[in-house]
Amino acid sequence: MKILTLNTWQERGPWKARWEVILHGIQTLRPDIVAFQELFNRDWAQEVQKRTGFSAFAFPEEFCGLVIYSNYPIVSWELKKLPSSSLEEYSRYAQWTELRIRDKKVFVVNTHLSWKAEDGASRKKQTEEILKLVQEKVGEEAVILAGDLNATPHSQEVQLLTFEGKFHDLYHRSHGAESGFSWDNRNPYAAGSGHKMPDRRIDYVLARGIHQGQTHPVANCDLVFTKPSGNGTWGSDHFGVFAEVK
């Protein structure tokens, strides 16, 4: 099973040219499941489905930017509003999706947590609500959590997911202590941001319950969209994360 997550950076910069880079990447990587953040345009989301050939997608009516595409049947999905931040003017959400893979249920959560580096307290509250949602919906069953957490691996909010939530950080499982910055100032869209931030790994594919007796359930997990296209266009201000699990 191949999973891709990417913050698509809304419709900023040369956005249609950037989407050509993203669409080409999807054609090359051939993910089974994609979790996008900052895709707000339903018409464009439908165009992406048409051009990628995904059999199903879930696009909420709420202004959340969270979209899941799947080549597996989507049995059900819903959107959960997360605790708000006093440092932001908009709401944060978790998108909950149940997929059917042959005779198995697989649950995918797509999210985008509060972005300001100093707002770890809000992200912690949002993370706690995600863990409550997971426990309520699946208990100990397999679940994938993907998205832009805006927090580093050693932050309290990510540690909450990996310790209390028992999620595995798939990039860390593949690369150990290697940094793997997904917000990287080598990318001019990141470096040119009005809010200067240091290089960090803030985008993740996390998983729980996928191993079920397998010694090495993670075949691969890497950063993607880490270089511009031939004409110098980058896909987004973030790099994506692409994971293959057994």
Residues 176-199: tens digit of each pLDDT: 988 899 999 999 999 998 888 999
- 140: domain CATH number is 3.60.10.10
> Which residues, other chains included, contact 117 with Cβ-Cβ below 8 Å and sequence gap of 6+?
150, 197
pLDDT range class, residue 230, cuts 50, 70, 90: very high
Q: For position 212, what pLDDT does the model report?
A: 56
Average pLDDT, the chain: 94
Query: For the sheet containing 67-70, what is the strand order?
Result: 56-58, 67-70, 33-37, 2-7, 240-245, 218-224
Cite the beta strand spans of 102-232 per DSSP E: 104-112, 143-148, 168-169, 203-208, 218-224
pLDDT range class, residue 168, cuts 50, 70, 90: very high
pLDDT range class, residue 209, cuts 50, 70, 90: confident
- d(C-alpha 83, C-alpha 245), whole Å: 31
The percent of residues in the chain predicted with pLDDT above 70, rounded, is: 97
Sign of dihedral through CA atoms 54, 41, 8, 141? negative
Question: Of 99, 190, 202, 92, which Cα lies nearest the Cα of 141?
Answer: 99
Give, rounded to a whole angstrom, the gap between the first and last alpha carbons of the chain.
6
Residues 60-90: tens digit of each pLDDT: 999 999 999 999 999 999 999 999 999 999 9
pLDDT range class, residue 215, cuts 50, 70, 90: low
131: tokens are 């863990």
CB 2 within 8 A of CB 31: yes
- How many structural domains does the chain have? 1
Using CA atoms of 78, 82, 84, 85 in order, give the dihedral in degrees to the nearest 10.
-120
The tokens 């957490």 sit on which residue? 149
Q: For position 68, what pLDDT does the model report?
A: 98
Bridge partners of 126? none
pTM reported for the whole predicted model? 0.96
Question: Of 235, 226, 233, 232, which Cα lies nearest the Cα of 19?
Answer: 235
Q: Which range of residues forms the domain containing residue 11?
A: 2-245
Q: For position 38, what pLDDT does the model report?
A: 98
